[in-house]
Amino acid sequence: MTQKPDPTPAMLFEQGLSCFHKPDGVGAVKAFRELIAMDPGYLHTDGDNPFFYMGKIHEIEGDLEQAITMYTRSLALDQWDEESLIGRGSCYTALNRPLDAVADFKRLLSLGHGLRKVADHMLFYAIAENHRKQAQWRKALTWGKKALADEPENQRYVALVKEATSNIG
């Protein structure tokens, strides 16, 4: 009987990714935790890392503070990881931490069009929404107008601009 070789970091990452997509959160967490214990600085050849997926799992499960911790660890490996910035910004938004959320979304905007996948209007809206939640109507209007200029038919953007405008008076 032959013994299985010890898994490599790449094998554990692929196992975690496979479980993540099944979805088998328990299997994914187990593989990613083992990988992190073996190599906490592991980056897949495509730039992904286990901390991002752990963040996504915690976010899906509603443990937003732990998701933020995992996204932050992911960003320690790649400070410009788009998906980790979006994930962390979204968690901050849900936890009513607008300054932190806006900082992450503005950081993504600073990357420019060619270096990220997410469209400007989506980031403009995310920033506007954080200002709206804080009743910062002028800032909400400024960012809402930017979103609306990029996508004039979007009814969420129209509603936000209308609400901000009416609250400014």
The tens digit of pLDDT for each residue in 91-119 reads 999 999 999 999 999 999 999 878 899 99
How far CA 54 is from CA of 49, 87, 88, 122, in Å, comes to: 9, 11, 12, 24
- Identify the three-state secondary structure at position 3: coil
Amino acid making up residue 156: R
The predicted-structure confidence for 139-159, as pLDDT tens digits, reads as follows 999 999 999 999 999 999 999
pLDDT at 79: 94
Q: Which residues have CB under 8 Å from 114's CB, separation 6+?
A: none
For residue 112, the model assigns a pLDDT of 81
Average pLDDT, the chain: 95
The whole-angstrom separation of Cα 23 and Cα 83 is: 19
What is the token pair recorded at 50? Answer: 């286990």
Residue ranges of domains in the chain, CATH in brackets = 7-100 (1.25.40.10), 119-169 (no CATH)
pTM: 0.91
